[in-house]
Amino acid sequence: MVAALVAEGASDSAPNTGELSLAKQVLLADPDLRFDPYAVLVRFKACATAEERDEAIAKVGGCVQRTFELVPGLVKIEIVGSVENAIDTLSPLNSIEYAEPDFVVRPDSVIPNDPNFNQLWGMRNTGQMVNSDPGVAGADTRSTEAWGVRTGDANFVVAIIDSGTNLSHPDLAANLWTNSGEIAGNGVDDDLNGYVDDTKGWDFFGHDNNPSDGGHGTHTAGIVGAVGNNGIGVTGVAWSCKLMVLRFIGPTGGFTSDAILAIQYAVRKNVRVSNNSWGGSSFSNSLHDAIHEAADSNHLFVTSAGNSGLNNDVTPYYPAAYNSSNIISVASTDNNDARAASSNYGYISCDLGAPGVNIYSTYGSSYSFMSGTSMASPHVAGTAALVFIQNPSWSYLEVKARILATVRPIPSLQGAWQSGGILNTAAALGVAAPPPNTAPVVTITAPTANGSFVEGAAVTFCGSAADAEDGSRTDHMTWTSNLQGQFGVGGVFSVTTLRVGTHVITATAADTAGLSASQTRTITITALSVPIAPISPSVTRSGTTANVAWRDRSNNETGFQIRRERRIGGQWTGQIIVGIVGANVQSYANTGLTAGTYRYSIRAVNGSSTSAWTTWVSVSIP
């Protein structure tokens, strides 16, 4: 099922349904629609002949609605009958690589209850109040430090693939991309890209040249590139850039095929970064292939991890969970450097965190406050733009690696996603490179150095491990002995099983990067003196119970062992230890015996030392 994560007010006005395809009219009427009910996406194999393609299309009574140059062989086919039947018919054909639904995807955000908050804590957090919640100073992206080096480039383009953007917003208008290859209003496709008068981008949902919308896409655009230092409103991560507006999401979602067209549009125009704050739970081969092919054009695809609070490694959310190397998957964090409760995560499928709670940005013709991984993703997209601008010859892999290598590591986020940290825009630009990773500092506080302990006594071990980057690693400490190997884990525990001898004790701890450190301490375990054997053994019967008794003569035993044999065929056999009792105890009841003759003897024990056995005493059970 496709996740229904729809931003409230994602569109300021409903499009004219008379100009929309039947599938999009259905989508507007059914907010929970999973896929286009009238078409499928099909990728033909490279070896498929024209005859095989025509035959396949005819089998579902269809016709080709559109082709996708970005993904060779991919087409959208209008069908007769159900989507399920069409896929079942097409999938087994040798000419077809795959056939699948044209899934609906939706924005990854929600509007919070208080729209009046106007503090950009994600850029600079001084500990200010956020909805009556004080933040932690420094829990931000260090953007103000980054701007001392670079604020953007008026020629660098970032594609906002979303629900559209308000083209007349006073804090965005100066940073909107203009298609230099198109002459506005002449009704001609001047740049021959298939779109007429696409001067500001394209609306793939409404299929026109006006991708304007005041909702979700306007908010994400403002985070990426609202005009900075202009005396009004807010600022984006990149003060100066060009925002290419590509609308494919309507009020209730958008189709995968239109998302692919938007990606294709951006790639054709050599756009190197796109922000994609949307997704769903259905795997689409077509979308995966489109993103993968975009990598060949050095395109970095920044996307939100989703807002279900789930582990994307276990319950994938797409496109964030695709394995394409040009994807950066972004989780949401709050103003205390914690993962937002609603944010998806995943050590394999999620890359880093970024501010996504209570984010103030452009909305409608003004400003508003929104939360979600939709807001986290554009922080990273804006940073990627700055890194590309600073390093114009870099590949998307180099930009991605720089962003992930310079996060602020947060101990509580280790394991939540690959980098274990939060976006650090300044460090990505080399302004505040993270400190070198250091090994933990391990300290043993107990037992005392060169201490001596009697065998069997409880020896308490106590220590700590502190790491400058990862915090406390005490719980991960391992304790080993040169005589016995590993015998304990953690900061405090006791052991009674150390053998006699001189032990070199080593406490070791490693950090999340694998650096380790240790401290050693030598102690001695001395043998206990041999206890005196008990005397006067006796045994009596009570039903099927043998009551064994003896006299204790030792003052240093830790307990007594009772052994037993049985008389069978004229011989005593089957010797076993049937019981162990504590120090100073002088009796033992061996219950549940079957008919036969039994004999018993007893000895005192003290650690590994034992006394001699007493003489045997016997009893018969009728």
Domain boundaries, the chain: 33-103, 106-391, 441-526, 535-621
- Distance, CA of 597 to CA of 567 (rounded, Å): 5
Marked catalytic residue, from 169, 216, 219, 503: 216
**Phi, psi (5° rounding) for residue 428?**
-60, -30
Low-confidence ranges of the chain (pLDDT < 70): 1-18, 108-119, 121, 129-133, 432-436
Find the catalytic residue in 162, 171, 467, 552: 162
What's 441-526's CATH class?
Answer: mainly beta
DSSP code of residue 119: -
Q: What angle do CA 165, 167, 168 make, to 5 degrees?
A: 130
Two domains, one topology: 106-391 and 441-526:
no
Query: Is the distance from CB of 154 to CB of 206 less than 8 angstroms?
Result: no
Catalytic residue, from 257, 286, 374, 601: name it: 374
CA 305 vs CA 36, 105, 310, 330, 369: distances in Å: 24, 13, 10, 5, 20
Q: Which CATH number fits domain 106-391: 3.30.70.2740, 3.40.50.970, 3.40.50.200, 3.10.20.30?
A: 3.40.50.200
- According to DSSP, residue 500 is labeled S
| Displacement of CA 375 from its chain's centroid (Å) | 17
Phi/psi of residue 445, nearest 5 degrees = -105, -15
- The pTM for the full model equals 0.65
What was the pLDDT predicted at 322? 96
What's the pLDDT tens digit per position in 573-599? 999 999 999 999 999 999 999 999 999
Under 8 Å between Cβ of 86 and 62: yes
Q: Which two tokens stand for residue 517?
A: 């450190």
- Provide the 3-class DSSP secondary structure of residue 8: coil
At 606 the pLDDT is 86
How many distinct helices (H) and strands (E) make up the chain?
A: 10, 36
Contact 386, 312 (CB under 8 A): no
H-helix or E-strand spanning residue 582:
strand 571-582
Domain spanning 33-103: CATH superfamily: Peptidase S8 propeptide/proteinase inhibitor I9 (3.30.70.80)
**Max alpha carbon distance in the chain (Å)?**
118
Secondary structure (DSSP) of 74-107: EEEEE-SS-HHHHHHHHTT-TTEEEEEEEEEEEE
Query: Is 162 among the catalytic positions?
Result: yes
> Per the structure block, which two tokens stand in for 381?
């997209």
The span from the CA of 399 to the CA of 391, in Å, is 8
Catalytic residue check, 216? yes
Say if CB 275 and CB 158 are below 8 A apart: yes
Name the fold adopted by 535-621: Immunoglobulin-like (2.60.40)
Q: What is the CA radius of gyration of the chain?
A: 36
CA–CA separation, 419 and 430 (whole Å): 18
- List strands edge to edge, sheet with 240-247: 201-203, 240-247, 152-162, 273-276, 300-304, 327-333, 352-355, 421-422, 408-409
Q: Which tens digit of pLDDT belongs to each residue from 447-506?
A: 999 999 988 789 999 999 998 877 889 999 999 999 999 999 999 999 999 998 999 999
Contact 580/559 with Cβ under 8 angstroms? yes
pLDDT tens figures, 495-525: 999 998 999 999 999 887 778 899 999 999 9
* Strands 452-454 vs 516-526: parallel, antiparallel or unpaired: parallel
587 classed as catalytic: no
The residue type found at 204 is F
User: Left, alpha or beta for 78 (phi > 0: left; psi -120 to 50: alpha)?
Assistant: beta
pLDDT for the residue 417: 94
